[in-house]
Amino acid sequence: MPTADDLDQDQTLIVDGTLVPCWGWKDQQGLHSGKHLRTGLNLQVACTLTGRLVWVSDPAPGSTHDAKAIQSTGFLENFPDTPPLGDKGYTGLGMTTPIRKPPGGGLTGWQKQYNHAINSLRASAERAIAHLKTRRILHIGYRRPLDSFPQNITAVIALELYKNSFE
């Protein structure tokens, strides 16, 4: 499994977060995601501009915001010169993100074009996540003991990275 230190620091990457659903256990706090209205674990995924999966974080509780999850991994510290692309959830972390609309106002023409360009590039990260979630274990609610879920996630990621090595 590649770590953030193994990645090419000069390559532009796209980062996005996803929730892998699981059952809710009463003794486990923080699994419920208010955004998705279900329990699960938060994964941060990095891919190239072509959509090739290159890195996936360790699972964080589902209630963890994407910005906090990516900061806790230390991933961004490895890319001081070429900050990754991300969505508006990563604003303020030094990443290249779309421009937020000001309260009570709108975006100018060039700001809309900028956002469109960023979001067009980010589409490949959504595809990479979709390919990762084609494995049934990551898109339905995980029902086995929660302590075995990270091992299963790692196995699925390893299979996906192995598959990508032949493309």
Q: What is the pLDDT of residues 153-163, one digit of tens each?
A: 999 999 998 98
Range of the domain at 73: 4-164
Question: How many domains in the chain?
Answer: 1
- Which residues, other chains included, contact 37 with Cβ-Cβ below 8 Å and sequence gap of 6+? none
Q: What percent of the chain has pLDDT over 90?
A: 59
- What is the reported pLDDT for 88? 93
Is the model's pLDDT at 35 over the cut of 90? Answer: no
pLDDT tens digits for range 108-144: 999 999 999 999 999 999 999 999 998 888 888 888 8
Q: At what angle are helices 149-164 and 109-132 packed, to 10 degrees?
A: 100
Residue 58 scores a pLDDT above 80:
yes
Per the model's pLDDT, the better-predicted residue between 87 and 25 turns out to be 87
Distances (CA, A) of 149 to 22, 66, 106, 142, 143: 9, 20, 43, 7, 9
- E strand or H helix that includes residue 21: strand 13-21
Rounded Cα distance, 79 and 12, in Å:
9
